[in-house]
Structure 1
């Protein structure tokens, strides 16, 4: 898959089939659209193009509310590459881009830059300055500039909308199992392993302390989770705590992962953690001994989970 950091970088002599959107999460609903995009290429000398954006357009147009994202751009690239997309354009969505009229967007970008033959888009998609253009305008422009428009049905769009909303809600509530079902894969985040206070070592639960790679990504509910990572091409099982560490009067949110049967030095390395199951809320204990007992219980629950899996 070829990745372009702006529309201006894209150049293709073949005609293209295009879809566009934020594709945050690249969840099962999005994957249906991508499959339709790829199916449109069969027996035709065409290239697929996904046009997406560096940030969620709502975070630019409506500054009073900020949407936390399910994917970093790097994760989005990896997910779309797995689907077999030919070309991915990650366009910076800024005020200037939002000022393009509907016809300017169609003529200057879809037709002249993307060499479009067909677009696959939601029936309720709105575009152009102040979002004044809709699917009827797009169909009109398609006839004017000689490209086809394939609408995604109301039911499919509703499924996609519900999925995006439900995934964010599920993650914020700790319902990782449901979020993973909607995503079609396990929710992940990445961070750099940094040196902590090493208090976990004193109770035989050493942890990798993570500093998140991207603060625009939604952070799961505070609590304890069953997780896994791939470190040096090996799958490593573990459990993770997200929270304030109330037993030691922590003041800031920290993320600590205790890996099972693993003792390698991974300081300053970037690791990706996949969330599998929520175990419990964070608890303040009266002593380290009580904390250690609870961690043993959490570990047992985690082992049972992996054994069943």
Structure 2
């Protein structure tokens, strides 16, 4: 899959099969659309194109609202779309000027002149252009003039999936990573860099890697303890991989040179030691290497318990031992399925 960070970087195609959207999380509903797109492109001898936006339009249109967090970063989204067989991903910078285009100009300049759209697959409720005034009827009318066809994803088809990005966000904020995985079709994950902490975990036999997530718009699940898997490279040359928005696209932490470990993650403010900041930490089982500066991927598989303030470190240690037993029991149950 080829990735473009601006429409000006894209070379117009002769037969572009296109869909448009933010596709946050690329959940089951999105996947249905994208599979339709890829199949149509193959059937018509064309190339599949996804036009998406970054930042999320709501971040630009309503900048005062800082509550909106994304299920997937732009690079996580790209990795999933690549796995679905998409040919081209155009990541258009979403700006006020872009949002203020009248629908006619958006269709002519973006879809026709820049991309070369011959067929577009779009939801029945798709809106675009200034004040979201453009709709499906406008696209169909323009298609007659500019020689492209429009395929509508019917309301019933979308509702049958019963999945939405907002439902997934709600599940994750509640810590229900199992429900989120059901909606997504894969485990929710975060990418981050291992940074130095205060090493309190080492003093009680549970050393943790502290994770820094650079993308401030990335949604972090609710506070608590989780069963997770951790994927990373153990080769020194592979440290500091692809943490920025553009470079990570060329390297996947799912590639064969990476190793995966079991562990338990903690999200919270560490009330037992009167912590002041929200931390993301992971205790990686059967692992004792120094990995400061390493980029890792953490898959959240099961919520184990809520964050609790204990009477001291001894009580915390006893609970962590139980947490580890519960986590290992969970992984054992997966192996027996």
Shorter-chain TM-score above 0.5: yes
Q: CA RMSD in A?
A: 1.2
Structure 2 counterparts to residues 73-222 of structure 1, below 5 A: 73-158=74-159, 162-222=163-223
* 3-state secondary structure, aligned to 1:150: strand
Q: Which stretch has the larger CA shift, 39-48 or 223-232?
A: 39-48
- Counterparts of 2:100 and 2:50 in 1: how far apart (Å)? 21
Q: 2:271 aligns with which of 241, 246, 249?
A: 246
- TM-superposition CA deviations, 1:69-91 (whole Å, max 9, x none): 01111111100000010000000
Count of paired positions: 309
Runs of 5+ consecutive residues of structure 1 not aligned to the other structure: none
- TM-superposition CA deviations, 1:132-176 (whole Å, max 9, x none): 111111111111111000001112333567421110000000110
- Counterparts of 1:295 and 1:43 in 2: how far apart (Å)? 55
Shift of 1:44: 2.4
- TM-superposition CA deviations, 1:101-147 (whole Å, max 9, x none): 11101111111111110000011111111111111111111111110
* 3-state secondary structure, aligned to 1:53: strand
8 Å CA contact 2:19, 2:50 repeated in 1? yes
- TM-superposition CA deviations, 1:229-273 (whole Å, max 9, x none): 112222100001100111111011011100100011100111111
Match of 1:302 in 2: 327
8 Å CA contact 1:30, 1:160 repeated in 2? no
Compute the TM-score of the two structures, normalised by the length of structure 1. 0.97
* 3-state secondary structure, aligned to 1:37: helix
* 3-state secondary structure, aligned to 1:42: helix
8 Å CA contact 2:190, 2:297 repeated in 1? yes
Match of 1:31 in 2: 31
- Counterparts of 2:279 and 2:111 in 1: how far apart (Å)? 44
Q: 1:162 to 1:83 in 2, by over 3 A?
A: closer
Shift of 1:291: 0.5
Compute the TM-score of the two structures, normalised by the length of structure 2. 0.89
8 Å CA contact 1:223, 1:241 repeated in 2? yes
* 3-state secondary structure, aligned to 2:199: coil
- Counterparts of 1:109 and 1:16 in 2: how far apart (Å)? 12
* 3-state secondary structure, aligned to 2:126: coil
1:8 and 2:8 matched: yes
* 3-state secondary structure, aligned to 1:112: helix
- TM-superposition CA deviations, 1:17-72 (whole Å, max 9, x none): 00000011011110000011011123422111000011111121123434210111
* 3-state secondary structure, aligned to 1:25: coil
Q: Which stretch has the larger CA shift, 11-20 or 264-273?
A: 11-20
Runs of 5+ consecutive residues of structure 2 not aligned to the other structure: 234-257
* 3-state secondary structure, aligned to 1:205: coil
* 3-state secondary structure, aligned to 1:219: coil
Shift of 1:14: 2.5
* 3-state secondary structure, aligned to 2:34: helix
* 3-state secondary structure, aligned to 1:119: strand
Match of 2:57 in 1: 57
* 3-state secondary structure, aligned to 1:89: strand
* 3-state secondary structure, aligned to 1:289: helix
Q: Which stretch has the larger CA shift, 53-62 or 261-270?
A: 53-62
Match of 2:309 in 1: 284
8 Å CA contact 2:13, 2:115 repeated in 1? no
